[in-house]
Structure 1
Amino acid sequence: MKKTTLVIGASMKPNRYSNMAIKRLVTNNQPTVALGLREGEVAGVKIEKEKIVFEDIDTVTLYIGAKNQPEYYEYLVELQPNRVIFNPGTENPELYRILTKNKIDFINACTLVMLSTNQY
Structure 2
Amino acid sequence: MGRGTYEPALSAGITSPYAHLRQYVFSRTLAGADPAVEIVSGDPVAFVRELKQQDGMDVWLCGGGELAGTLLPEIDALIVKCYPVAIGAGIPVFSTAFRPHRFGLVDSRSFAGGAAVLTYTRGLD
Q: By the TM > 0.5 criterion, same fold?
A: no
The normalised TM-score by structure 2 is 0.43
User: Is the radius of gyration larger for structure 1 or structure 2?
Assistant: 2
Higher relative contact order (CA 8 A, sep 6+): 1
The normalised TM-score by structure 1 is 0.45
Higher helix share: 1
Higher strand share: 1
